[in-house]
Structure 1
Amino acid sequence: MAVFFCLLFWVTPISAATLEDRVVEHEFANGLKLLMVPRPEAPTFTAYITLGVGSVHETSEHRGMAHMLEHMLFKGTKTIGTTDYAKEKPLLERIEEVGSRLDALRARRDADPEEIAALEKELADLQQEHQQFVVKDEFARIYAEHGGVGYNAFTSRDLTTYLINLPANKLELWAAIESDRMKNPVLREFYTERDVVMEERYRAYETNPRGMLFEHLFANAFTLHPYRNPIIGWRSDIENLTLEQTRDFLHRYYGPVNTVIALVGDIDPPAAIAMIARYFGDIPSGLPVPAVSDVEPPQRGEKRIQVTFDAEPQLAIAFHKPTLPEHDDYVFDLINQVLGQGRSSRLYRSLVLEQQLVTAVQTFSAPGSRYPNLFVITATPRHPHTTAEVEAAIYAELERLGREPVSAAELERATNRLRTDRLRFLRGNEGLARMLTFYQSVAGDWRYVLTYDEIIAEIGAQDVMDTARRWLHAGNRTLVTLEREAQEQ
């Protein structure tokens, strides 16, 4: 699977051929995995902490939990983010007790509105009182004061990552902060943050045409597998997340046994190992995240969905496909290049330049990588052309891909572009750290990247034709169109 990353630092190039010799690995007794690449050229380092826990690991009882925890773990610990935790703790307990009662009452159909209103006021008053103990954005402030940049986190369907770039002499500061976050997190401001997440969902999905398009695409392409669910959760999921469930999910899975740390930059591996052992070594392992047992059944026919939304028409087409390390997944990386990457790609030349049917066309794999996923094509019709015209033009190119061999020049161009993109992110500290933790978590071994170019180079035109015919057909596709409601004449 091709992965492209934004790079913050450009340092001495590193190739896949030399990467194996430069990565220093260490696994601690509690299961924590550490991957290091020393690069002393600049006095900085990038740190990635990746937990192999994402929305794919949620059940119907706690969808949206992984994303919610990403928000909550910015709130601090017993020593960070509070003015006085000893005084704060009893108030947090009262907030949880009232919030839990309010959630239970709201879930009842016969609930008394006046009783709900009274509990809402009590909760609001407690939360207001709690603000005297809250120190906002304390992690970010500490890192910024010590030269940190790029402090961030993200949740995907497959994993959750926290990252920062720091001066080389701040490794112990990082270890102290991040081990404290793993040992002593405090889920403060839970109910207010839950409201923030619901607003985020409203803006990103419910009032966003592209978010709505993809939400419908994934929910309909998958009938069983949890890849069908949005990372943020459905609205009712967020409304019903509880503090007790969130804490249980955190303590169960956010432990060393599911964690990979990558340190890339001006570091001394033996010293780093000793330091991480000192700060992280006494953290309980936690429970390994169980593999998802749901297996998506084969699709038996085309699915077509039309979404009515007041926005410019769009369409998205998805085809089920294997994921890494299956051979067809490598082939799809080439198909992605040939069809949709760059101005020389087939779909761009045909739909944008020659026929002028669309203003934009994209291809990519989604929504995750740990389990079989989708090859997706999206397009925005150029007025006055319709989604039906664009759909027909896309199918013509897919049919051609399975009927005619890709030219040697196209295949070479696609192979070279994949290699160039890969080398580009291997050059940056952040790109390399992200690559190491991603493949270690999703593929089970970061060494997946070492043989990638060799396998890609062995794929020929016949492989592309066979893979296209095997997967890019009507019975395996899901189509979602987003259209304005028809106006009455």
Structure 2
Amino acid sequence: MLNKLKFAILAILFSSIVFAQSQHQWKEASVNGYAYKYVTNDPTKARFYTLKNGLTVILSPTKKDPRIQAYVAVKAGSKTDPSTNTGLAHYLEHMLFKGTDKYGSLDWAKEQVELNKIDGLYEQYNKTTDEGQRKAIYKKIDSISGVASKYAIANEYDKMMSAMGAQGTNAFTSFEQTVYTDDVPSSSIDKYLAVQAERFRNPVLRIFHTELEAVYEEKNRTLDNDGRKVFETLFANLFQKHNYGLQTTIGTVEHLKNPSLVEIRKYFNKYYVPNNMGVILSGDFNPDEVIVKIDKAFGSMQNKPVEKYTFQPESPISAPIIREIVGPDAESLTIGYRLPGNKDKDALLADLVGKILTNGKAGLLDLNLVKQQKLLRASAFTYSLIDYGVLYFSAAPTNGQSLEDVKTLVLAEIENLRKGNFDDNLIPSIINNIKKSKIYETEKYSDRASTLMDAFTSELDWKDQVAYVNDLSKIKKEDIVAFVNKYLGENYVAILKRKGEAPKSNKIEKPSITPVETNADKQSDFVKMVNEMPSISAQPVFLDFNKDIEKSKLGKAEVLYVANKDNDIFRLKYRYKIGSLNDLKQSIASQYIQFLGTDKMSAEQISKEFYKIACSFSVTTGEEYTTVSIEGLQENFEKAVTLFEDVINNVKADEVALKALKARLAKARKDAKANKGAILQGLTSYAQYGPKNKFNNTLSDKDLEAITAQELLDHIKNLNNFEQTIIYYGPQPLTALVGKLKTIHTVPASFALAPAMKDFKQIAQTSNQVLFADYDMVQAETRWIRNTENYDSNKSTIVNVFNNYFGGGMGSLVFQTIRESKALAYSTYGYYIAPQKKEQEYYMLGYVGSQADKFKEATTAMNELLIKMPELPTNLELAKTGVKKDIQTERITQDNIIFSYLANKQLGETSDIRKKIYNSVDAITMQDVQNFHKNNLSGKPYTYAIVASEKKISMDDMKKLGDVKKVSLEEIFGY
């Protein structure tokens, strides 16, 4: 009777929720004279204001964390770049970090005189074609830039943001948006708004030629990036009249080599106007108070008409366009179909078509190509832009396949779509899973802000976004079939990415740049004013592992529990004490299970069943643990867990699936050898552990081929016999959870003993050594590795402060010296990394990604910092403040509480280590940091891991760093 009554009540509640969700309307309200709009039943509770000058302000308050994700978004990007100055929006984005006449300058009156000279010289430079004259002009630019830099203070923006406790300070540019992003403590909102208002008032294009060199570096990195080449080639062929294809966001080499400061200012004045900009905030704040502050900060900006981008409609594509790209990365296929823009009535259908093809579990590509292992990977998604969209396919061959074979298989799935050959339950299943994803989307303040910002820059109606799930649910199978017949015919562009030596690209050569002053120890009056603005810092919240985690037992297994009090999502994990260090075949077994069926269901049916109930499972093997993860809606908890237990207990071997898996693994291993990132990671492991290391601890090709289906099945069936911990985050009470799991999950009376773990010891660096791998590219990737000493919790504070001070961000010594002052790299850092277990060692990891022709200067610059560390007391205080504010505003919640407990436990810590750091950070002195640097880094031997082309960097230059060992791919990968 009680169960029936409960069910009836739930049914009434559910029907009311569905009814409420179908009612999405714009409403208006006003508080304190500020009118705003909102959408009824919007889970983000977003308010949309338009200030008198046209500035859009979007506020989404949520009090879970004492932080605010903040965006200042401009509806302008590479689409609106002048055709004579492509890349302009992007390098303007870079320059918005350089300050104004009020900050970033020691003496604006004197600096302005020199900057005006540089303006004029760049205009001369652009109009000059004689190479000798251009070099002479550039020499003048370099010389005067050196003079101007004496009056400049580099990185004041980053330092201000660090001082107020900001995280994730950055910006990005794409086709239709340029967005400036910061995540700030709620207590710093006044400071943040003061800085942003000043930032966009009158930006000064100072320290320009070194920053432009960073953009050159970024451009040259794209010339090494096969994926970027594929993307740009696809869009160039899909859009032959529109700037989506006519221009790239980063611009052409020719335009980057001939920048115009005059054109940059024109662009700023044209598009950076309030009626074309938005301020989007989500986090812990009172919107009634914050809107007043934003109006006061930005209200003086002047509204100006903004000319809309216009274009000629694209001509229809009447036959497939096939293009080839050759480069060192693994082979792949990319296919694109041109679609209407994001406001077209078919845009919603386009989204659903993308999800029917790929949703990670039960899409046509997922089931027919990936699950059946016909391809190494395959996916599709809808890339929506304002004027057009693209249905974007990406796929990679397995062993023995040609790219033409891949194309045939992918196009066959489009044909299945055209014929309606997909499960009738697929659309409602997609709707259920999107509902679940929407719950996740609104959980975090950062996700809310990101979604609202994208809708703003994409010029989408937020009401439609809130009603998205309901609108999707109205689509029928016949609508999908009609869409496919309308848009997906022989009108595609296909890019065949083949493996081989890339044709020589027209890279930007290194100009002669004299290092500029950064005046890193100086501070402008504006910065002092901002730093002195009052703010009440949030109090830190430390975990109490005895209170924040509930514990129980399920037989011999420990249950770790945290309640979900926010929504109906659950996450359950079985964490087994066996990993790849115990048995290399365990990780193969974990991959094998996804391709297997049971006595009653095929692998495809299992995927469909999980997807139908908006749940999922995965099995992953790490070094020490194998983890089963099951997640979804609590109402389907019993179904999902029972379904998994049925799979694990009744799984059947499949020789065809094993043969296909071996082919996939062989192809993936081959592809890894063509990936420069994987090669660098392998060299890093070699430097840490020696020739036999964690990275190349893998099965040989022969051993992989010899694996039998029965062996892997035994690994799967035996998994539950090992020591296990059960982790749960969800709304079900602990006693009810344990009671339910007792009926579903059987824990053995005693645990089996796992094979002994293979132990890899970090090796001591006794002399300088270079581990070199040859790779055909323009760049040189260099890492510094040095193992030091065993973990000591008493050193946690100094390690955190040192990282912030030395090489952990844009305001650090490494970044300021190597990128800002010397323009030697686009990306650089230097971290002292703590181990994950108490018996392991700390290690230093430095990095510089530079052009090959800057390799010598870049490595010299990093080595100078490792030998002698400059003393900048103001920067040290910023580093300490950053550590404190991060802890003050960090809230470890949900199942992260359990993972934090387990991580602390591995280090031998019984309490939250952050408390010790917070209470001791103020006592750190410059002498402490210098002693730390001297004892662990200065004058010590390093192993250099270098990936570069031996045709482009000198062996003699590498020998100056240490004894050179050229490492083969077989030595790196172990196969």
| TM-score past 0.5 threshold | yes
**Deviates most, 156-165 or 117-126:** 117-126
What is the CA-CA distance between 1:486 and the residue it aligns to? 9.6
Q: Are residues 337 and 454 of structure 1, via their aligned partners in 2, closer, same or farther at CA, if it must alter by over 3 Å?
A: same
- Residue 30 of structure 1 pairs with residue 53 of structure 2: yes
Equivalent AA in structure 2 for residue 95 of structure 1 = I
- Residue 341 of structure 1 pairs with residue 354 of structure 2: no
For 2:341, what is the secondary structure of its paired residue?
Answer: coil
Percent of pairs identical after alignment?
A: 25
- Residue 370 of structure 1 pairs with residue 386 of structure 2: yes
State the distance in 2 between where 1:292 and 1:194 align.
Answer: 29
Equivalent AA in structure 1 for residue 67 of structure 2 = T
What is the CA-CA distance between 1:423 and the residue it aligns to? 2.9
**TM-score with structure 2 length normalisation?**
0.46
- Residue 438 of structure 1 pairs with residue 454 of structure 2: yes
For 1:295, what is the secondary structure of its paired residue?
Answer: coil
For 2:203, what is the secondary structure of its paired residue?
Answer: coil
Please give the residue correspondences for 1:57-206 in structure 2 after superposition, counting only pairs within 5 Å: 57-105=80-128, 108=129, 111=130, 113-204=131-222, 206=223
Cα deviation per residue 1:142-178 (whole Å; 9 max; x = unaligned)?
A: 1111111122211111111112121222111111111
Tell me if the contact between 2:273 and 2:302 (Cα under 8 Å) persists in the aligned partners.
yes
Equivalent AA in structure 1 for residue 192 of structure 2 = W
Cross-structure match for 1:39: 62
For 2:58, what is the secondary structure of its paired residue?
Answer: strand
Tell me if the contact between 1:82 and 1:133 (Cα under 8 Å) persists in the aligned partners.
yes
What is the CA-CA distance between 1:308 and the residue it aligns to? 2.6
Cross-structure match for 1:221: 238
Cross-structure match for 1:426: 442
Cross-structure match for 1:327: 345
- Residue 453 of structure 1 pairs with residue 469 of structure 2: yes
State the distance in 1 between where 2:46 and 2:498 align.
Answer: 50
State the distance in 2 between where 1:49 and 1:448 align.
Answer: 23
State the distance in 2 between where 1:257 and 1:486 align.
Answer: 48
State the distance in 2 between where 1:241 and 1:119 align.
Answer: 13
Tell me if the contact between 1:439 and 1:448 (Cα under 8 Å) persists in the aligned partners.
no
Tell me if the contact between 1:254 and 1:286 (Cα under 8 Å) persists in the aligned partners.
no
Tell me if the contact between 1:150 and 1:163 (Cα under 8 Å) persists in the aligned partners.
yes
Tell me if the contact between 2:68 and 2:284 (Cα under 8 Å) persists in the aligned partners.
yes
What is the CA-CA distance between 1:246 and the residue it aligns to? 0.6
- Residue 400 of structure 1 pairs with residue 416 of structure 2: yes
**Deviates most, 242-251 or 433-442:** 433-442
Cα deviation per residue 1:21-80 (whole Å; 9 max; x = unaligned)?
A: 932232111111111122234322222111111111223122211111111111111122
**Deviates most, 35-44 or 149-158:** 35-44
What is the CA-CA distance between 1:301 and the residue it aligns to? 2.1
Report which of the two structures shows the higher radius of gyration computed on alpha carbons: 2
- Return the match for 1:208 from 225, 246, 253: 225
What is the CA-CA distance between 1:478 and the residue it aligns to? 0.6
What is the CA-CA distance between 1:82 and the residue it aligns to? 2.1
State the distance in 2 between where 1:289 and 1:451 align.
Answer: 31
- Return the match for 1:315 from 318, 333, 341: 333
For 2:280, what is the secondary structure of its paired residue?
Answer: strand
What is the CA-CA distance between 1:376 and the residue it aligns to? 0.7
Cα deviation per residue 1:187-226 (whole Å; 9 max; x = unaligned)?
A: 112233223212211212x111111111111111111111
Cross-structure match for 2:817: none
What is the CA-CA distance between 1:289 and the residue it aligns to? 4.2
Relative contact order higher in (CA < 8 Å, ≥ 6 apart): 1
- Return the match for 2:433 from 409, 413, 417: 417
For 2:467, what is the secondary structure of its paired residue?
Answer: helix
Tell me if the contact between 2:111 and 2:151 (Cα under 8 Å) persists in the aligned partners.
yes
- Residue 484 of structure 1 pairs with residue 507 of structure 2: no
- Return the match for 1:271 from 274, 286, 289: 289
Cα deviation per residue 1:362-383 (whole Å; 9 max; x = unaligned)?
A: 21223x5111121010112223
Which consecutive residues of structure 1, in runs of 5 or more, have no partner in the other structure?
Answer: 1-14
State the distance in 2 between where 1:359 and 1:133 align.
Answer: 56
State the distance in 2 between where 1:342 and 1:444 align.
Answer: 26
Tell me if the contact between 1:405 and 1:465 (Cα under 8 Å) persists in the aligned partners.
no
Q: Are residues 21 and 164 of structure 1, via their aligned partners in 2, closer, same or farther at CA, if it must alter by over 3 Å?
A: closer
For 2:255, what is the secondary structure of its paired residue?
Answer: helix
Equivalent AA in structure 1 for residue 417 of structure 2 = L
Tell me if the contact between 1:253 and 1:287 (Cα under 8 Å) persists in the aligned partners.
no
What is the CA-CA distance between 1:414 and the residue it aligns to? 1.7
For 1:152, what is the secondary structure of its paired residue?
Answer: strand
Tell me if the contact between 2:76 and 2:89 (Cα under 8 Å) persists in the aligned partners.
yes
State the distance in 2 between where 1:414 and 1:21 align.
Answer: 22
State the distance in 2 between where 1:191 and 1:282 align.
Answer: 31
Cross-structure match for 2:248: 230
State the distance in 2 between where 1:134 and 1:294 align.
Answer: 45
State the distance in 1 between where 2:359 and 2:252 align.
Answer: 32
Q: Are residues 343 and 21 of structure 1, via their aligned partners in 2, closer, same or farther at CA, if it must alter by over 3 Å?
A: closer
For 1:75, what is the secondary structure of its paired residue?
Answer: coil
State the distance in 2 between where 1:306 and 1:403 align.
Answer: 30
Cross-structure match for 2:697: none
State the distance in 2 between where 1:213 and 1:230 align.
Answer: 12
Please give the residue correspondences for 1:240-319 in structure 2 after superposition, counting only pairs within 5 Å: 240-319=258-337
Tell me if the contact between 1:310 and 1:484 (Cα under 8 Å) persists in the aligned partners.
yes
What is the CA-CA distance between 1:449 and the residue it aligns to? 1.0
For 1:304, what is the secondary structure of its paired residue?
Answer: strand
What is the CA-CA distance between 1:92 and the residue it aligns to? 0.8
Tell me if the contact between 1:44 and 1:265 (Cα under 8 Å) persists in the aligned partners.
yes
What is the CA-CA distance between 1:444 and the residue it aligns to? 4.5
Q: Are residues 365 and 230 of structure 1, via their aligned partners in 2, closer, same or farther at CA, if it must alter by over 3 Å?
A: farther
For 1:330, what is the secondary structure of its paired residue?
Answer: helix
Paired positions, count: 465
What is the CA-CA distance between 1:387 and the residue it aligns to? 0.2
Cross-structure match for 1:384: 400
Q: Are residues 486 and 95 of structure 1, via their aligned partners in 2, closer, same or farther at CA, if it must alter by over 3 Å?
A: closer
RMSD: 2.2
State the distance in 2 between where 1:160 and 1:393 align.
Answer: 38
For 2:234, what is the secondary structure of its paired residue?
Answer: helix
Equivalent AA in structure 1 for residue 115 of structure 2 = L
Q: Are residues 313 and 334 of structure 1, via their aligned partners in 2, closer, same or farther at CA, if it must alter by over 3 Å?
A: same
**Deviates most, 409-418 or 244-253:** 409-418
Tell me if the contact between 1:48 and 1:262 (Cα under 8 Å) persists in the aligned partners.
yes
For 2:495, what is the secondary structure of its paired residue?
Answer: strand
Tell me if the contact between 1:415 and 1:457 (Cα under 8 Å) persists in the aligned partners.
yes
